[in-house]
Structure 1
């Protein structure tokens, strides 16, 4: 079995290299036979990755501790679901999982409807596969054997024994790996010297799908941090969190700007830059996670992988730069400038600038400790205060732009007409701001931010309502049918509106939870109570139970809310037999407008404990906003795609493009 595992990795190297060579030969020689042979190489590469993955999952699930990776991340008492999730817990397994996903994506491209872009796209993706297979066989082999076979493994870090471990890495990797596809198509377009927008249409759903998975991954990661780490928050601006957030921002910009290129033939250079940047940020994020140069609870141990990823990132960046520079005249000749300062095109471009400013702010805050240490010898860390202070005005500007964008038409807009369309949403947000200020709510910036969200939500709701009303008038349909058919007729537009509504709801949750949390750390004896917000918590009992390989220690806290008795909460500490540090299990009681969040911090005796209690406003709006966003993305994804792709037969006559 050990031999089969290693052979599958070696075969992956051979077949991905062959696919790369066969596609190049097929294009240069104008040979359909070579191109067809490359498709066989793709299937072989996928089978090699699938075989290696299936073997590792089998070894993890059945406790083959003769393998270093299995012994490092599992043990006999670990539940099966977490044994299998250990697949992506360490460097070797997560790289194999990445390779498996990339081989699946490559196989889909290879056997989808063929266009002139297909061979070039497959060559770029095969180059990526070749890199990952090579790194595994030479540096972090998941099938490495131990010198001695331990009686039991080390087990999985307790913080990773959470449902988030099953879903969060998978969704993020699907997003990360998915961004290789639009990059490969962009490189194919440059190699073909074809500056039309066909490659954007071919990759729209790939880009949107990758963005959907990045969205889901970031949201699940935030929820996981909220319920598992016990510090009361959901986003700490950790370097690894930032690594997944930066490509999300750049792809958000790309999804807006590609609409301008599709409709108006504008922003060709800009879209190429965004595609290359987004792909580069996935490699940069992987470099950060695996290099060990930054401290993070999410990062893998330093294994030397960072150097490999940095070299590969530099190589791919130089490759992309060469193609852009060598084709720059063609790109520029096809470009059309934005003609009106006040138009939807300009608003989308401004949206891009804001999102890129956000990405740069996150990037700078993430790498500044490295820069400061390199230049001065002292690492100056940037924490949450920096990110919150810088990102808050950027978020406000983005929300305000999103509020007015739906009412701005293409080409040239009338300021008076646009202001007329937003007068009622603007009045509503102003009244809401006045209400908050008059009610004694503090925090000027928070009031402005929440009111801006109300403005944005109102403009989008009004736009949808106007369209529904117009359809009802034209068709005599009822409101529900008119709404459903309206969304079905233009899924991209109204799916996008739904995503914006989700962002507005999510932003209300973020601003409120950051500006108005209540927190108390209290040492109390059995029978004593304390109050926070409208809640009264009473320490009823302290308990300890044995559950398999762990000791669960928990306090039962009675809860009263405004004089009404609620179910008790049970904050826990869990001690594992094979792990030195305990795991914190937070007790969360959620309501539509706030969460009661209770952590068992410490105890002196079973009759005297210290607890952290927080009331976090509107946390549930963050998760609800995320659900709305994902629903909007799914609607947009279901919209039809128009393509003008060339037949694969034309590849034969275009082989000169890469010579």
Structure 2
């Protein structure tokens, strides 16, 4: 028996147990039979076992070079390193779907093992919903997208992995992004369970929040890694090109971000109940849409697979999800009336609502631009594409207003904020912004749009730092040293202050985007050995080309020495790598040198024709490191928000009067103004 036979059997058995779990979980909940619910729990764990077994069978097929499996022959070769051979598991359509199903089964098992923390009435419906999703993926894998199909003739070697995937980023970006798509399944399952049972109080919201935080953080990591991969592999000098597949990954992140803000309004004021359910459902629907878009191949992208009939399966599944969710929501509308009304637009909940409108506006604009080629082809019988200028013109003002709202929000109280309190809280950030706007032109920032963008980012940064300082100052007044006070703020109020870290990270990321967008410089020069080109005060001296041939590839690199102020800063080697099996898909080798907050991005503009000359292209990318620093800070903030609070509720009930004075000190004082 081949490993592929074992994998196919495991898929079929996993599908059977997934369907059994759905039936038994619902029956157990409807008839209030705990034995059936316990059986459903065990059955879900069995599904996890079989999906894990199928995944291991596929990995074993790769590691043993079983080229009789068509998928293995298409995505690996004998010359590939072991780690890329194993990573080829998710390098194609069939394997990536199996990875999706594997992560869903593991997360479902994690939910079952921690389900005592969730409302008991919701648990069986959450399991049933998750297993419906799992059953869909296993059905697709067992039929139209089977990774274990064998060919009649076993080739001696495989074609190898796509050259763009032969990169260390392959080991981290695709699995994180696919896991991000998948992780929106559990919040969706909670929403369905709450609607199905009618238990729509704050209990389900508390249960869902940490799962959504986990999904948001995982998707954030996937997006940042994707931008980093594009930056150092694709060779066009940028990190985000508004590619349809990039857009699809951004969509559920935007709606999940909106949910994480509006859920605080529901927890605090009992409002936006319908809105929050819609955002959860929309996040999951968009994650399925993203999976559908890549796997169907209906939209042209450097990331997507070839056209496949699998798209129709995902389209039908997506339609069923939207229809079923909408019906459930409509039936429960009478139970979703808000507990309170908005008292004032000038309040924290007012800013959160504006925040949601902006994020949904960005979602719609991105979705429209992504789908417009299909819409134009259907209506006008010609494919019209939407380029980066459209997204930049639409998204830039939305992002700037969003940044402004992020800075204003922490300075406002719940319910309403008096004009005196508003001015008192905003005076320091406004002064900081004015100083920034005045100083920037002296540093060469003469573009008005760039100046506005930098100034608003500075407003947000100063406002958040001011809020952190005020909180630490209150704790310091009760006898804590400032470092201890700041640490205790993060320890005791993780969601609030972790959110501030996320906002600081986003502000840094936007600063990086503004700098690289407005001030990027590109220089090209055809150089002969000994000639040089200058960029931003640095000299790049071309010394010649080096041609190295391996068994399965050829690498041509250009040796360049960098000089600054008469001193040599070392050598860099931009080049091109061509694999024998993919002669028409050369891979750029791009050395990126960072000096201060500026990247020097160097590559060969075209393959050298002789050993003594090369077309060298240099991008000077100011502030791009801020993109990566901001991304890391956002992920760190997400982890802080998600990190479980181990304090017992008993401790919270017996806090002293002095301690209660420290609880969210600034917020409580503002609330009575």
Task: Output the CA distance in 1 between the equivalents of 2:282 and 2:246.
Answer: 18
Question: Match for residue 295 of structure 2?
Answer: 290
Residues paired across the two proteins, number: 642
Aligned to 2:304: 299
Q: 1:352-501 maps to which residues of 2 (within 5 A)?
A: 352-475=356-479, 477-501=480-504
Distance in structure 2 (CA, Å) of the matches to 1:111 and 1:491: 24
**Is residue 144–residue 310 contact of structure 2 (8 Å, CA) maintained in 1?**
yes
User: Can you list the C-alpha shifts for 1:12-48, whole angstroms capped at 9, x where unaligned?
Assistant: 1100000011112112222111111111210110011
1:584 is paired with a residue whose SS is strand
1:116 alignment counterpart: 121
Mapped to 1, the partners of 2:341 and 2:63 lie a distance apart of 58
Checking the alignment, whether the CA contact within 8 Å between 1:109 and 1:118 is kept in structure 2 is no
Conserved in 2, the CA contact under 8 Å of 1:53 and 1:97?
Answer: yes
Match of 2:54 among 37, 48, 52: 52
TM-score by length of 1: 0.95
Q: Secondary structure, in 3 states, of the residue corresponding to 1:405? A: helix
Deviation at 1:52, TM superposition (A): 0.1
Q: Is the contact between residue 5 and residue 52 of structure 1 (CA under 8 Å) also seen in structure 2?
A: yes
Q: Is contact 1:267–1:335 with CA below 8 Å preserved after alignment?
A: no
The equivalent of 1:168 in structure 2 is 173
**Aligned counterpart, 2:531:** 528
SS of residue paired to 1:521 = strand
CA distance in 2, matches of 1:617, 1:199: 45
**8 Å CA contact retained: 1:201, 1:642:** no
**Equivalent residue for 1:619, pick from 624, 635, 642:** 624
1:251 is the counterpart of 2:256:
yes
Comparing 409-418 with 80-89, greater Cα deviation is found at 409-418
SS state of the match for residue 605, structure 1? Answer: coil
Structure 1 pair 561–429 and aligned structure 2 pair: CA distance change class (3 A): farther
Return the alpha-carbon distance in structure 2 between the equivalents of residues 271 and 337 of structure 1: 16
* SS of 2:544 mapped into structure 1: strand
Q: CA deviation at 1:641?
A: 8.7
Does residue 518 of the first structure (1) align with residue 521 of the second (2)? yes
CA contact (8 A) 1:268 1:335 kept: no
CA distance in 2, matches of 1:562, 1:266: 62
Q: In the alignment, which of 269, 280, 285 is matched to residue 285 of structure 2?
A: 280
2-structure distance, mates of 1:575, 1:539? 22
Q: CA RMSD in A?
A: 1.5
Structure 2 unaligned segments of length 5 or more: list them. Answer: 650-673
The one of 90, 102, 105 equivalent to 2:92 is 90
Q: Conserved in 2, the CA contact under 8 Å of 1:517 and 1:615?
A: yes
In 2, distance between residues paired with 1:104 and 1:313? 22
- 1:22 corresponds, among 21, 24, 38, to 24
Gaps of 5+ in 1: 645-659
State the SS of the aligned residue for 1:206: helix
The residue matched to 2:157 in structure 1 has which SS? coil
1:537 alignment partner in structure 2: 540
Runs of 4+, deviation exceeding 6 Å: 641-644
Normalising by structure 2, we get a TM-score of 0.93
Q: Secondary structure in 2 aligned to 1:540?
A: strand
Between the two structures, name the one with larger relative contact order (CA 8 Å, sep ≥ 6). Answer: 1
- Distance in 2 separating the partners of 1:313 and 1:337: 34
Q: Is the Cα contact below 8 Å between 1:9 and 1:49 reproduced in 2? A: yes
The 5 A counterparts of 1:540-559 are: 540-559=543-562
Specify the SS of the correspondent of 2:300.
coil
Alpha-carbon distance, 1:161 to partner: 0.9
C-alpha contact (below 8 Å) 2:562/2:568 kept by paired residues: yes
* The one of 94, 100, 103 aligned to 1:101: 103
Q: Which digits, 9 at most, give the CA deviation of each residue in 1:247-285, with x for residues without a partner?
A: 111100000011111121111000011001101000111
Q: Distance in 1 between matches of 2:5 and 2:340?
A: 57
**Partner residue, 1:657:** none
| Aligned-pair CA distance for 1:175 | 1.4
